[in-house]
Structure 1
């Protein structure tokens, strides 16, 4: 039996894929840095061994899967190539693995993880399925009918897949360290559309997605009345959002999701459209109402009179959507944004857009830019963003106690770097205050 060794097993996609192979009856192990990541818990729960990086981890008979973050001169990759092991990059292996199933790729600049999670939840109520979510969650099943997975456009990695279906949530300019323009991003999505085998479910309210051409049927969803699947009569309750769905202008059914904000209604519409296309009954689709959410997407915690929210939002459009959700869920509370920009290139490219989107909060605390080893900072600092936001201050890790001044407020910790350390530091100051 083959042993699969994952180089960088703590990465979100990698840990999810490792869990899928493990659940499907394969022998799985991996290696990574010593630092603890939130993805580790699930791996440990399944007794998947995690070793420190070393050439001795690599055996000739192993199949090696390497995370995309690791260069070809990494010690384990060099050893795998020296021994002539079967070797794949993460996206290459995933492209091979999903050929066994009816595969559904979920892609788009924003909303991938939430939509993948919601779709996996709904299909899991009706079928044995496998799914790979970008929050590090993965599940396999020996008898899987469907394989639902998040497909990332960065570096055009999603062109390694030939899925049966693709959900496309939106096209937006991001990853400015790789893409040169919105046209370049569109070109990548168009190339992805050409690889889809059965059908595409696309947001018809998105101007870019309206231009996509395909050899397979394209079903559109959205708020506009030209869409095949349209949401109408949207209203918020304390439990979430309820809306009616019309299929080609004919009333289909009424659905409730335990989330707030237009972007969540659109994500749910995408799920309803693909399920309807695959003949899943409305009663099964309605199980959306008990969806628990995905990690780091509007993850809430109540501490005293405050609500602390952890969210992965790292693009201006995502920040705007997260603040909108908080306003709709907690209309009577102040919204305080604590934001850590992710990468210098993204911060520089969207400096004014970040300022505009963050201005939707009542007050903003900015954390130093989370830079990657791949890029130069130039002269850019967090103060360049602070200057553009009227009600803002820079937050130091040892000064998070200031957040305690906002009683009965919503504190949103946003970013794709290590923003959690600011939330942890703040919660520790509260614990210490209580103990004293």
Structure 2
């Protein structure tokens, strides 16, 4: 697409403007001088932020909400019979799905940087954004989770650099044409859409071929390497644990602790010492990926290492919610076996008396396709408690149930409500234990419920 609609319109209407993917775009477009209106069905903190810019937001979806908009943007969750979309079509106003608008917005920057991969995108995007801020590069950013440093999942910068999280689901990342891409890993996921792992690799290859300057790729991940084979349009730089990569860790802390200390090394040259606060080897890899991209973009090693040492994580990424009666309560977004293995392995190394994993299986297709892998990952903690499978966008044509997963993890239990789970784990957990909720759905509500119940018990 050679023409960019953003060159020809000034007035935009966002259907579902409070969404985590919509709000950041609205902020950046507003800053760039576009006139925005929006609608949503739920009040939220993000809507308060949107309104604070003077952007009018209507509650509920009605045809008249689109006003004199010249383009209407909507989320993938928005039904085609939404009255605002219907009104736009009737008036001949262009309608764009969120990921399409993100691609067009990214093209308004000379240096879009896109972070992709099956796991670790949000954390790495956040790390890279913080490094570029501290390195004086003043980036704009759109991140999949709330960054404590910003108190938001977006940033409005004043440079030509924009950092975006690039999601592969239904090939939305193919709307992007980055100057710089990061490919963290490629794993079997979203098979409801991709069908095969080969198809996932092909999509990442297409994404890499749309990158114009630099690709930072995990040199330890065979599928990621396969995705950049034959790519000649951009320079390829590798990162990983092995010294065969361009960027890798040396002098790692050998003590069995959850947090990683290492020397960031580039072609044998020690760039600096990194002492991570966020736990786990997976976060060390995320940090090295962010460091590699930032270093290639010209940030000093000093700024890279000091920023990574202060990075406290992202909302719902091993987020500690509090300690009550000696029991720590935390929440994590992990919903794929690889992510669960990383998080639970870290949790088991943190010195807790016992780890209580509370897991919400996310989609029937993923649970069915990766059942054995889930069972293996969920056997890591001392105790496993589960919810019923969260359907999301699916019907259960696989005939899969949480009981099928529980049968493969001895001693595990499951319940049909967050209330029952909260009561059960609070009755069982002892001082020194960790209660960790896990999942990509609304399991965080269970964590919040546990916190509320503990607070209510306090004298």
Match of 2:122 in 1: 113
Shift of 1:377: 4.8
Instruction: Report the counterpart of residue 129 of structure 1 in structure 2.
Output: 139
Are 1:315 and 2:336 an aligned pair? yes
Q: Which structure 2 residues correspond to residues 1-400 of structure 1 after superposition, within 5 A?
A: 2-34=10-42, 40=47, 42-43=49-50, 48=55, 49=57, 51-101=59-109, 102-125=111-134, 126-135=136-145, 137-141=152-156, 143-211=158-226, 212-213=228-229, 214-215=231-232, 216-235=234-253, 240-286=259-305, 287-304=307-324, 305-328=326-349, 330-395=350-415, 396-399=417-420, 400=422
Equivalent pairs counted in the alignment come to 433
Q: Judging changes above 3 Å, is the alpha-carbon distance between structure 1 residues 17 and 410 closer, same or farther for their aligned structure 2 residues? A: same
Match of 1:415 in 2: 439
Tell me: CA distance 1:345–1:47, structure 2 relative to 1, closer, same or farther (3 Å): farther
Q: Which range is displaced more, 127-136 or 223-232?
A: 127-136
Which residue in the other structure is 2:425 paired with?
403
Q: Is the 8 A contact 1:111 1:267 kept in 2?
A: yes
Corresponding residue for 2:5? none
Superposition TM-score, scaled by structure 2 size? 0.89
**RMSD of equivalent CA atoms:** 2.2
Q: Deviation per CA, 1:61-102: give whole Å up to 9, x if none.
A: 342111112233322212111112232111111111112321
Instruction: Identify unmatched segments of 5+ residues in structure 2.
Output: 1-8, 147-151
Moved more, 270-279 or 140-149: 140-149
Unaligned runs of 5+ in 1: none
Other-structure match for 1:431: 455
Q: In structure 1, what is the Cα distance between the partners aligned to 2:49 and 2:236?
A: 36
Residues of 2 paired with 1:411 and 1:24: CA distance?
A: 44
Deviation for aligned residue 1:415: 0.8
Q: What per-residue deviation string (whole Å, max 9, x for no partner) do you get for residues 101-126 of structure 1?
A: 21100000000000001101111121
C-alpha distance in structure 2 between counterparts of 1:144 and 1:423, whole Å? 39
CA distance in 1, matches of 2:59, 2:96: 19
SS at match of 2:317: coil
Cα shift at 1:385: 1.0
Cα 1:373–1:99 change in 2 (3 A) is closer
Give the superposition deviation at 1:56.
1.5
SS in 2 for 1:231: strand
Q: Distance in 2 between matches of 1:300 and 1:385?
A: 27
Q: Secondary structure at the match of 2:191?
A: coil
CA distance in 2, matches of 1:317, 1:239: 17
Equivalent-residue separation in structure 2 for 1:314 and 1:110 (angstroms): 10
Any idea what the Cα deviations from partners look like across 1:271-319, whole Å, max 9, x if unmatched? 1111111221112112122223211111112222122111111100011
**Alpha-carbon deviations, 1:168-211, whole Å to 9, x = none?**
00001101210111101001001111100001000101011222
Q: Which moved more, 1:230-239 or 1:178-187?
A: 230-239
Q: Distance in 1 between the 2:45 and 2:455 partners?
A: 22
SS at match of 1:234: coil
3-state secondary structure, aligned to 2:357: strand
Q: 1:394 to 1:43 in 2, by over 3 A?
A: farther
Aligned with 1:202: secondary structure? strand
